[in-house]
Structure 1
Amino acid sequence: MRSYRNLLLFLLLATLWGSAFMTINAGLEYFPPVLFAAFRYDVAAVVMLGYAVLIVDDPIPRTRGEWTLVAIGGVLLIAAYHVFLFIGESDPHVTSAVAAVIVSLSPVLTTVFARGFLPEERLTIVGTVGLLFGLGGVIVLTNPDPGSLLGDGAVPKLLVFLAAASFALGTVLTRTVDAQLPIETMEAWSMLIGAAIMHIVSIGLGESVGDVVWSFEAILALGYLSIAASAIGFLVFFDLLERLGPIEINLVSYVAPVFAALSGWVFLDEIITIATVLGFLLIFCGFLLVKREAIRAEIVRYRSTG
């Protein structure tokens, strides 16, 4: 089971973040967008800080490198990504399908940033083809209307693109910092910094707590995004980032829409079409190309122990 740990954690992360798209759309009915994101990380930060205090000897970053690592996480992975994403998704022209296609550019953007900051993380030509297969699978899976992608709402779509770029850049930059910090500590303080930044942005946009419509559905959406998608999700993300590197971990952007479609089928009775199945197959082919060396090594290991 240990040899499949990364795969199981990757699928868990894709499930949590894939279902989060549906939850965000539901929660935006009750919260102003940036305030919603800030509340999400207020809760997640408190939970993670308490967890870090319990299991980490020193839950406070001490060195300049450690605070640099936390700052990258707070500014890019938390604040910038969620401010751009939540504002973009609050626009009626940005459907879940359109947002999924734009966000799924994250692995491609990560590859671009890695070429500048992490030369050792560059993909081969075959790996790049695998990325393109995965992107094609996401496009087929979400089946966006080309007119919707290129038509009205250009600014909010640009914001979603900036969200994907912020996350990709943040993922790469965390690997350039020479600092060792427990995952729990990095996550907790990044969330605290990110939440504080988002509250400042929310105030600047004129959002108010008085605009929130508190209901059972609102609390449920906030709770799921805070605990499952944020606290647990980023704990898994940072763990896998150390093991897989920025390019491979950001492939979760390709798999998340698969779980978004499956969660819609299970909970909302949405129909899985032929296009959905074809999208799954393209994404699967992309994974086979990107992970071909690991798969080949696993087959050899299995045969040698069989």
Structure 2
Amino acid sequence: MSRLRNLALFLVLAAVWGSAFVAINAGLEYFPPVLFAAFRFDVAGVVMLAYAAYAVDDPVPRGRDGWLEVVSGAVFIIAAYHAFLFVGESDPAVTSAVAAVIVSLSPLLTTVFARAFLPAERLTAVGALGLGIGLVGAVVLANPDPANLTGGGTVSKLLVLAAAASFALGSVLSRASDADIAIETMEAWSMLLGAGLTHLLAFGLGESVADAAWTTESLLALGYLSVVASGIGFLIYFDLLDRLGPIEINLVSYVAPVFAAVVGWLVLAEGITPTTVAGFLIICVGFGLVKRDAIREELRAAGVTG
């Protein structure tokens, strides 16, 4: 039951974060990129702090280790990841497909950081093969124009790569932390501190609230990203990070594009091509290799195998 719960939450997270790409693209039409990320976590941080006050006995981090985990999440997972990603995606040369391919490097980058900070969570040779196959599937699914991958926008693409590296490092550091802090508390304060850091960066880049356009569509995009993608999404993410470890949970960056394609088909009438289906199937093979032991045990428990 625990494995089924983890799988269900993993798929929900992939769906939420995959659909978030649609909201990000919509919101960037109305907000300066870094300020958009800051607004997102202003709202999400307040919502999560209210939830933490309701759900846990003490919604304030205590001790040095607790605050170090909060700062780590704020700097790498909230501020750096989203600032780099939003600025990178604001460049027309970085299409959603190109960004998806670059962000899909996150599980590979996670294994690199895990070797330094979490040696017990290194992948086996078969697991590493599965990780590589999953990356190939993500590239096939995104189906980027090769000219866009190798053409202009080099700096913007490097910013998206920096976003993937920041997220990978932040997840490994969070897993390595010995802090005894509730997920709700850590998430709320990381978001609030991360929002503050992102506001400072937006100010340094010359972005202004006056440049934001407050329309129904922009508010819907901001609301979805703040409450669903950030509040609910990160609550699931940090829960699974504690259960599965950073390498396995960051496989969500392989699966999220599948849901992004489905949402694009449902909401934007974007076509699902044979390439989309092929990419999904390749990702399933890679995912199966990484999770082969858990799948084998689940089948044995169900009486499918001996």
TM-score interval for Structure 1 and Structure 2 normalised by the shorter chain: over 0.9
Aligned to 1:179: 179
Q: Which range is displaced more, 261-270 or 1-10?
A: 1-10
Deviations 1:87-139 (A, max 9, x none): 00000000000000000000000011111111111000100110111100011
Return the offset for 1:160. 0.2
Q: What SS does the aligned partner of 1:152 have?
A: coil
Aligned to 2:217: 217
User: Residue type of the partner of 1:60?
Assistant: V
CA distance in 1, matches of 2:182, 2:210: 38
Aligned to 2:84: 84
Return the offset for 1:304. 8.3
Aligned to 2:112: 112
Aligned to 2:192: 192
Runs of 4+ displaced beyond 4 Å: none
Return the offset for 1:51. 0.3
Deviations 1:56-86 (A, max 9, x none): 1111011100000000000000000001000
| Aligned 8 A contact 2:299 2:305 in 1 | no
Q: Does 1:264 align with 2:264?
A: yes
Structure 1: 5+ residue stretches without partners: none
CA distance in 2, matches of 1:3, 1:106: 23
Aligned to 1:235: 235
Q: TM-score, normalised by structure 1?
A: 0.98
Q: Which range is displaced more, 252-261 or 295-304?
A: 295-304
Q: What SS does the aligned partner of 1:175 have?
A: helix
Return the offset for 1:305. 11
Return the offset for 1:3. 4.2
Return the offset for 1:176. 1.7
Aligned to 1:69: 69
User: Residue type of the partner of 1:59?
Assistant: P
Return the offset for 1:271. 1.0
Q: Does 1:16 align with 2:23?
A: no
Return the offset for 1:180. 1.2
Q: What SS does the aligned partner of 1:184 have?
A: helix
Deviations 1:167-212 (A, max 9, x none): 0000001122211110000000000110000000011011111000
Aligned to 1:284: 284
Aligned to 1:138: 138
Q: What SS does the aligned partner of 2:92 have?
A: coil
Change (3 A) 1:128 1:3: closer
Aligned to 1:29: 29
CA distance in 2, matches of 1:176, 1:293: 23
Q: What SS does the aligned partner of 2:116 have?
A: helix
Q: Which range is displaced more, 262-271 or 87-96?
A: 262-271
Aligned to 2:40: 40
Question: Alignment RMSD, CA only?
Answer: 1.2
| Aligned 8 A contact 2:30 2:214 in 1 | yes
CA distance in 1, matches of 2:304, 2:259: 34
Structure 2: 5+ residue stretches without partners: none
User: Residue type of the partner of 1:284?
Assistant: C
Aligned to 1:97: 97
Identity %: 68
Deviations 1:224-245 (A, max 9, x none): 0000000000000000000000
CA distance in 1, matches of 2:305, 2:52: 39
| Aligned 8 A contact 2:24 2:221 in 1 | yes
Aligned to 1:164: 164
CA distance in 2, matches of 1:71, 1:27: 27
CA distance in 2, matches of 1:125, 1:253: 21
Equivalent residue pairs, number = 306
Change (3 A) 1:304 1:290: closer
Q: TM-score, normalised by structure 2?
A: 0.98
CA distance in 1, matches of 2:274, 2:36: 35
CA distance in 1, matches of 2:3, 2:263: 27
CA distance in 1, matches of 2:157, 2:126: 30
